[in-house]
Structure 1
Amino acid sequence: MSKKVFITVGTTKFDKLIETIMTNDILKELSNRGYDHLILQIGASTIDPDCTPRCGIKKIEFFKLKPSIQEYMRSADLVISHAGAGSCLEALEARKHLIVVTNELLMDNHQLELAEQLGKDNHLYHCTCGDLLETLRVMDLGGLVPLAGDNSEKIARAIDRLMGF
């Protein structure tokens, strides 16, 4: 049975994440974990990803933006996302295994604080592009704790606190 990974950068431009995902090492590790179908949502990127099947990945597809990514989230077995609060919440509320990749180029990196807190609570894994491969190698998705109920308000308060509101 096909296992699908959905990668999202939201509306941002996070070329480094897309480039990292498309490396042979990452593709091989995803394949070793049983994934064989990638869908990349590349946002504002100007990259034109090579969608040639390789390294055990049988199908690779991409798009820039859609009115909703909900169907892609729902159909994914694993979500790899930028650290935007909306994308994180959408994946967690859909009860998806989630790896959040923070963008080190952001100056005011409140996204890192959010990812660290959700990681500390065992809701997700978080990393940078530089350590994504190691995260994939050591992750134990069975150890992740789903969000209980609708925690949007609780998480929104935590984000407000982190932002100083």
Structure 2
Amino acid sequence: MSRIIFVTVGSTGFDQIISLVTSTPFLQLLISQGFAKLVVQYGKSRNSFIKMQNNFINEIEIIGYDYKPSLREDMKIADLIISHAGSGSILEILRLYKPLIVVANENLMDNHQIELAIELQSKGYLVYSSIRCVKIF
């Protein structure tokens, strides 16, 4: 059975994570882990998503969009979710009992989102990672 990964950056842009998840090495890693589809909610990072389309490889289906009224359906079908560190997104994903990797956009805010992600990681609810070392589990 093919696996689906969903990436959400929220309402703001997060060019770094879009560049990471659409890079050839990351896509090859996804394929090696059995992922066949990558769905990306890129928010204001549309240009980053379009710029990275040259990296796309045929072995994985890649779909991207800026916004939808609700991300719940994409979250429900995902086998793994990578999300920005917004508390609303984190809580919605946790309610669905989905494996979650949280990556804080360190350029946006003070440390409250990072503190929340670290605390929830310490309780075993999610994996927190910096943009430099996103983990696949």
TM over 0.5: yes
Residue type of the alignment partner of 2:114: L
Residue type of the alignment partner of 1:28: Q
CA distance in 2, matches of 1:11, 1:123: 23
CA distance in 2, matches of 1:65, 1:128: 24
Aligned to 1:110: 112
Aligned-pair CA distance for 1:131: 0.6
Residue type of the alignment partner of 1:50: Q
CA distance in 1, matches of 2:132, 2:124: 21
Aligned-pair CA distance for 1:103: 1.2
The counterpart of 1:127, out of the listed 126, 129, 134, is 129
Q: Does 1:14 align with 2:14?
A: yes
How big is each residue's C-alpha offset from its partner over 1:61-80, in whole Å with a ceiling of 9 and x where there is no partner? 00000100110000100000
Aligned to 1:76: 78
Aligned to 2:29: 29
Aligned-pair CA distance for 1:46: 3.3
Aligned-pair CA distance for 1:29: 1.4
Hey, which of these two has a bigger chunk of strand by percent?
2
1:96-107 → structure 2 map (5 Å cutoff) = 96-107=98-109
User: Secondary structure of 1:36's match?
Assistant: strand
CA distance in 1, matches of 2:16, 2:113: 16
User: Secondary structure of 1:89's match?
Assistant: helix
Which piece of structure 1 moves more, 20-29 or 88-97? 20-29
Larger Rg: 1
CA RMSD in angstroms, aligned pairs only = 1.6
CA distance in 2, matches of 1:83, 1:125: 11
Residues 107 and 69 (structure 1 numbering): CA distance in 2 closer, same or farther, change over 3 Å? closer
Q: Which has the higher contact order (CA 8 A, sep 6+)?
A: 2
CA distance in 2, matches of 1:9, 1:51: 21
Aligned to 2:45: 45
How big is each residue's C-alpha offset from its partner over 1:113-158, in whole Å with a ceiling of 9 and x where there is no partner? 01101111111111111111xx22xx3xxxxxxxxxxxxxxxxxxx
Residue type of the alignment partner of 1:40: V
Q: Which runs of 5+ in 1 are unaligned?
A: 140-165
User: Secondary structure of 1:71's match?
Assistant: helix
Aligned to 2:65: 63
Aligned-pair CA distance for 1:33: 1.4
8 Å contact 1:3–1:77 — kept in the other structure? yes
Q: Which runs of 5+ in 2 are unaligned?
A: none
